[in-house]
Structure 1
Amino acid sequence: MSGVMDFFLLMSVMGLLAVPSNPSPDFAALGLVLEAGVGCGIYGSYGDSFFTLIILLMYMRGTWIVFACETAIAADRDPNASGLWAVFGRKPVYMIWLFISQFIFCGGWYDECAQSLDEFDEVYLFRGEFGAVGLMYCSGGGFCMLGACTLQLSFFVVVELTRAVSRRALRPV
């Protein structure tokens, strides 16, 4: 079980690095799809398969909406793949930045929730993911709200850019 989780976490980091290091929106969206699948695999390894499937379907829907908008805006005839040196050279820079920011900003929050409550011998009333949700909203709730507002604003910008001038999408708003 530990090897599977290590693989999922490694693929999660690779999926997160695939998004900013690719200049083409096609391959960046592929990194988002990889991240959605791996993230739900991590969550599903703790035993909640139905909720994992629902989250995967919702996240894939949002990813494909973003993918369709990005492809409509930047229709690239020759997208740069991850094998090119210009793209491949960015990944170590992002990896170093990731480790430095993790060392600076994420002091020791993972020491308390490194294991799920299902892995202990005792019987507990709550499962491990409920503690992680509380921890996420405790320390990062403001960042979640900031991310949601940013995504909403970027959606409005994409809608305004793709609509014709005569048919404004947000005119009633």
Structure 2
Amino acid sequence: MSYLLFLLSLCFIVGLVGVAANPSPHFGVAGLVLGVIGGCGGLVVLGGSFIGVVLFLIHLGGMLVVFAYSVALAADPFPKAWGSYFVLVRVMGYGVLFLFMVWVLGNVLLLGGLGVTGLDCFGLYGVRGDVGGVVSLFLAGGPILVLCGWGLMLTLFVVLELVRGWSRGGLRVP
């Protein structure tokens, strides 16, 4: 299980570096998807199965809207790809910065004695943390949940109308 958590953490880090290093939305969204898969998969492995799946679905919906909007407004006919020199230099810089942060935080956490634990319960009366959140969400927050869903649907229609443009598409180059 620790190997799976390590692999998902690595996917999360590579995805974040891919988003930060790539200036083009066409290729940056691949890093964003990889980062979300790694982060939500790590939550599921650590025991937060409900919150991991909900965050995955919310991030996929948000990424779809942001990606469609940014690609429609990007006027770069030849975006910088993963193999270009500019992107590789930025990936190396972010990788060195990440290794330095891991070294600093690793020393701080080793001195403090903190660790990563999951949400799994033991015994008959244990209730997992994410299941209690589901009950509270649907009992006390039902109307707010419906209102938020309506707002997200309205936002989707507004973004789709903005991207559509005036019958020529979102990219309006003379």
Q: Report TM bin, short chain.
A: 0.5 to 0.7
Give the Cα–Cα distance (whole angstroms) in 2 for the partners of residues 104 and 2 of structure 1.
Answer: 22
Equivalent residue for 2:118? 116
SS of match in other structure, 1:112: coil
Greater mean alpha carbon deviation, residues 36-45 or residues 102-111: 102-111
Greater Rg by CA: 2
Greater mean alpha carbon deviation, residues 92-101 or residues 43-52: 43-52
Runs of 4+ in 1 over 6 A off after TM superposition: none
Task: For 1:30-109, list aligned pairs within 5 A.
Answer: 30-104=30-104, 107-108=108-109
Give the Cα–Cα distance (whole angstroms) in 1 for the partners of residues 129 and 114 of structure 2.
Answer: 11
Give the TM-score taking structure 1 as reference length.
0.62
Equivalent residue for 2:23? 23
Give the Cα–Cα distance (whole angstroms) in 2 for the partners of residues 128 and 113 of structure 1.
Answer: 18
Give the Cα–Cα distance (whole angstroms) in 2 for the partners of residues 127 and 113 of structure 1.
Answer: 19
The amino acid of 1:88's aligned partner reads: L
CA spacing shift, 1:49–1:101, aligned 2, 3 Å: closer
Q: Provide Cα deviations, 1:130-156, integer angstroms capped at 9, x if missing partner.
A: 9xxxxxxxxxxxxxxxxxxxxxxxxxx
In structure 2, the gaps of 5 or more residues are 132-158, 166-174
Equivalent residue pairs, number: 133
In structure 1, the gaps of 5 or more residues are 131-158, 165-173
SS of match in other structure, 1:89: helix
Structure 1 residue 77 displacement after superposition: 2.2
CA spacing shift, 1:10–1:36, aligned 2, 3 Å: same
Structure 1 residue 38 displacement after superposition: 1.5
Q: Is the 8 A contact 1:116 1:129 kept in 2?
A: no
CA spacing shift, 1:32–1:45, aligned 2, 3 Å: same
**Percent identity of paired positions between Structure 1 and Structure 2:** 32
Give the TM-score taking structure 2 as reference length.
0.62
- The higher relative CO (CA closer than 8 Å, separation ≥ 6) is in 2
The amino acid of 1:112's aligned partner reads: L
